[in-house]
Amino acid sequence: MTKNSSRAILGIILFFQLLFGVMYAVRTPHWQAPDEPAHFNYVRVLAETATFPILQQGDYDQAYLEKIKAAKFPPELAIDSIRYEAHQPPLYYVVALPMYLVARALNLDVVLALRLFNVVLAVFLSLLAFHIFRFVFPSNPLLRLVGVGIIATLPMHIAMSAAINNDTLAEVVVAVILWLSIVRLNGKMNRTRFFVLGGIVYGIALLTKTTIYASAALLILGELGYQQISYARQEASAARPAAVKPRRAALLSTGKTLLPLFAISLALSIFWFARNAAVYGIGDLLGWQRHDAVVAGQPTTAQWIAANGLRNTLIDLFAISFKSFWAQFGWMGVLVNDRIYVFLFILSAAATLGALFLLARLWRERNSFPGETRWTWLLLSALLVLVIAADAYYNLKFFQPQGRYLFYALIPIAAWWSGGLNELLNARYARLVFALLYIVMLALDYISLAWFIVPQLAR
């Protein structure tokens, strides 16, 4: 595959992602996405008062929320009191504010304007993924495009990125952190640039969403990987022992890079934590304790187990997570046809099985791969494990089995699945099979919107 043909196919993928994103943003009724009214009210309060909202009792009313959802958000039922996202870090809402103000000044649909902003962010995420996949699949341009195609056609991801929320920006920030870490461990970025850019981007992460704070591990692994690779090559050189960098020195070098990196991050974000200390108390810098106190009435996992039993709870956890990863729209109330879920399960199982074969081959042939390749896959896997662990930890308290929480790891999922499917396919037919799968996924994107979302959410 030539560079020009690869760029052309990438352009086609991004075009259709943008097209479907706009279609979902336009055709999905207002507020018919998880937490959309609460995120919108954050922007609205910021626009009207020029101050950040404070989460307080009354911002989450379970009974009213169920009533307004059941009525499909009629105009006579206001959404103004739905403000339970007020504890969120401020960056998304500050960045989205100009779109709100311009749309309001021009008498345009402010909800649509904010949705379209997220659609553009999602396309940028796919572009970032392509550049990451250049390191993951350095000799296979086809798999780079397959990985982007997975991200760009996932129906639930299109739906969520066509709604008002801070998740899409958070995914972009995580992707930038992952890219920086991979570029650094591949020796394509010097120390100063890495700790400056890494510090700025992680500072942005601290101001975007608390669920991505663990992405600091990627920066640590990226720098450690670079130092370990450098050490291994010096150790193998003929200049031993004088030119050898001891392992302890490699760890010290890692620390010397990361210390200013995280200092920059803290300097950029300290104002927000100071503000939270003043508003919520010194022991609640993230606003989580206030959030837990406000959202009383949200079902807990303990209550779910008591009502349904542990076995049924685990089954529900898997089934709902799977469906809501692929296609469970609105406020989790719009399901697609069962035959579609069966197809998606078979596809997911095949891709996961192939990923296990790929993992086994990478391990078996690990000594034949350069250190950069091994560390790149380690970074991808680390992000996937962190996101799954965070989802599991949250569900220990509240029963919220939503597959969309895994979207922060969409890039590693796409990498493992594209590589996994390639392991199962004959090289002669791989391009044809991947092209057909892409067309099928585009059809599923249209079917999900036209046959399920629009009819079921219409008032």
Kindly report, residue by residue over 406-432, the tens digit of the pLDDT. 999 999 999 999 999 999 998 889 999
Q: What pLDDT, on a 0 to 100 scale, did the predictor assign at position 79?
A: 96
* Full residue range of the structural domain in which residue 389 is found: 3-457
| pLDDT for 260 beyond 90 | yes
Q: What pLDDT, on a 0 to 100 scale, did the predictor assign at position 459?
A: 79
pLDDT digits (tens, 9 = 90+) for 142-198: 999 999 999 999 999 999 999 999 999 999 999 999 999 999 999 999 999 999 999
- Residue 400's pLDDT band (cuts 50, 70, 90): confident
| pLDDT for 6 beyond 70 | yes
Which pTM value belongs to this model?
A: 0.94
pLDDT digits (tens, 9 = 90+) for 60-113: 999 999 999 999 999 999 999 999 999 999 999 999 999 999 999 999 999 999
For the chain, give the mean pLDDT: 94
| pLDDT for 242 beyond 90 | no
- Residue 370's pLDDT band (cuts 50, 70, 90): confident
Q: Select the more confidently predicted residue: 237 or 279.
A: 279
Q: What pLDDT, on a 0 to 100 scale, did the predictor assign at position 236?
A: 66
3-state secondary structure the chain: CCHHHHHHHHHHHHHHHHHHHHHHHHHCCCCCCCCHHHHHHHHHHHHHHCCCCCCCCCCCCHHHHHHHHHCCCCCCCCCCCCCCCCCCCCHHHHHHHHHHHHHHHCCCCHHHHHHHHHHHHHHHHHHHHHHHHHHHCCCCHHHHHHHHHHHHHCHHHHHHHCCCCCHHHHHHHHHHHHHHHHHHHCCCCCHHHHHHHHHHHHHHHHCCCHHHHHHHHHHHHHHHHHHHHHHHHHHHCCCCCCCCCCHHHHHHHHHHHHHHHHHHHHHHHHHHHHHHHHHHCCCCCCCHHHHHHHCCCCCEHHHHHHHHCHHHHHHHHHHHHHHHHHCEECCCCEECCHHHHHHHHHHHHHHHHHHHHHHHHHHHCHHHCCHHHHHHHHHHHHHHHHHHHHHHHHHHHECCCCHHHHHHHHHHHHHHHHHHHHHHCCCCCHHHHHHHHHHHHHHHHHHHHHHHHHHHHCC
For the chain, the domain total comes to 1
Q: What pLDDT, on a 0 to 100 scale, did the predictor assign at position 246?
A: 55
Q: What pLDDT, on a 0 to 100 scale, did the predictor assign at position 375?
A: 94
Calculate mean pLDDT across residues 294-307: 86
Percent of the chain scoring above 70 in pLDDT: 97
Q: What pLDDT, on a 0 to 100 scale, did the predictor assign at position 421?
A: 97
pLDDT digits (tens, 9 = 90+) for 106-126: 999 999 999 999 999 999 999
| pLDDT for 304 beyond 80 | yes
- Residue 245's pLDDT band (cuts 50, 70, 90): low
Lowest mean pLDDT among 250-254, 274-278, 351-355, 418-422: 250-254
Q: What pLDDT, on a 0 to 100 scale, did the predictor assign at position 426?
A: 87
pLDDT digits (tens, 9 = 90+) for 315-347: 999 999 999 999 999 999 999 999 999 999 999
Q: What pLDDT, on a 0 to 100 scale, did the predictor assign at position 283?
A: 95
Q: What pLDDT, on a 0 to 100 scale, did the predictor assign at position 257?
A: 95
